[in-house]
Amino acid sequence: MTKNQILRNALNSGKLFTAMAAHNPLSAKLAEQAGFGGIWGSGFELSASYAVPDANILSMGTHLEMMRAMASIVSIPIIADIDTGFGNAVNVHYIVPQYEAAGASAIVMEDKTFPKDTSLRANGRQELVRIEEFQGKIAAAAASRKDKDFVVIARVEALIAGLGQEEATKRGLAYEEAGADAILIHSKQKTPDEILAFVHAWPGKVPLVLVPTAYPALTEADISALGKVGVVIYGNHAIRAAVGAMQKVFAQIRRDGGIREVDAELPTVGEIIGLQGDEAMRRVEKRFLR
């Protein structure tokens, strides 16, 4: 089965598919080893790893090349976060085959204006494009893919923009009609109430995608029990884990005036060499070095 088929089958299966955010091939590999079904090619994480805001500061090429690098290392599907599609429907028609060729198995595109502002920031600029315009962008994404199993996910930002449930449902249905394979509905409310109201009322046929960063109380068991959600995305836990771990270790080394104490708490250099794919390289060495 191809990676695209794995994701497509998961969406059709009715079973919840889990995707962990990653910002480089190493974090993607760790997510795969931990047992997640797929990788979320997060714009937020990649931006954070460059220490710039998640507001279309990085170019499409930078994100695309990171998806390619991750896809060359992991065997699980990558869901690429293409923000607003880097322009209009013409841009989307051009870039979707590039993401496909880079090894992604899906794109998620959100209905905000370009340049976007990050969704979870308080008081961010959250302006949406017209429904018809975004339908055109979704239709362009669906029409331009080469493999019918490549998944197109439309992301509704109406709740993030404070436009209410009615607008969110209207947009979700319009994007389904335009050819979206799934609808990502995002919320920044601290409790799951807003998202649960949307999910319970969702009249569409395609599965929903949730990103429960703001409302972490909702577990996979809770989400599965809703019966309408195909994918849960853990949006930024790789970069937050990395930042927390580095801050802790760096502070300890400064406090201790050296690395003696901290050394035993860290993964060994051997473990890192293992993650670099050393074993495979040694096999090549043995076979071809003369």
Q: Should residue 275 be labelled a site residue for ligand SPV when binding is judged by CB under 6 A?
A: no
Query: Of 151, 173, 178, 211, which one interacts with ligand SPV (CB under 6 A)?
Result: 211
Strands 78-81 and 106-110: parallel
* Angle subtended at Cα 161 by Cα 60 and Cα 112, rounded to the nearest 5 degrees: 25
236: partner contacted, choices ligand SPV, Mg ion, none (Cβ within 5-8 A by kind): ligand SPV
Residues 6 or more apart in contact with residue 36 via CB below 8 angstroms: 18, 19, 20, 76, 234
The four Cα atoms 47, 52, 57, 61 give a dihedral, to 10 degrees, of: -40
Q: Should residue 169 be labelled a site residue for ligand SPV when binding is judged by CB under 6 A?
A: no
Residues 6 or more apart in contact with residue 198 via CB below 8 angstroms: 159, 165, 168, 169, 185, 187
Q: Should residue 18 be labelled a site residue for ligand SPV when binding is judged by CB under 6 A?
A: no
Q: Should residue 194 be labelled a site residue for ligand SPV when binding is judged by CB under 6 A?
A: no
Instruction: Quote the least distance from Cβ 214 to ligand SPV, whole Å.
Output: 8
**Residue 256 designated active-site:** no
Distances (CA, A) of 228 to 2, 157, 210, 278: 25, 19, 10, 42
What does the alpha-carbon distance between residue 204 and residue 189 come to, in Å, rounded to a whole number? 23
Which region among 69-77, 78-86, 189-197, 245-253 touches Mg ion (by CB under 5 A)?
78-86
Q: Should residue 71 be labelled a site residue for ligand SPV when binding is judged by CB under 6 A?
A: no
Helix (H) or strand (E) holding 164: helix 164-178
Using CB under 6 A as the binding criterion, the count of chain residues that bind ligand SPV stands at 14
**Given the complex with ligand SPV, which of 196 and 275 has the nearer CB atom?**
196
Residue with CB nearest Mg ion? 43
Q: Should residue 43 be labelled a site residue for Mg ion when binding is judged by CB under 5 A?
A: yes
Closest C-alpha among 234, 220, 261, 281 to residue 30? 234
Query: Of 42, 84, 126, 135, which one interacts with ligand SPV (CB under 6 A)?
Result: 42
Q: What are 176's two structure tokens?
A: 């389904």
Which region among 7-15, 37-45, 172-180, 266-274 touches ligand SPV (by CB under 6 A)?
37-45
Query: Of 81, 100, 157, 181, which one interacts with Mg ion (CB under 5 A)?
Result: 81
- Residues that are catalytic: 54
Could you list the residues that contact Mg ion (CB under 5 A)? Answer: 43-44, 81
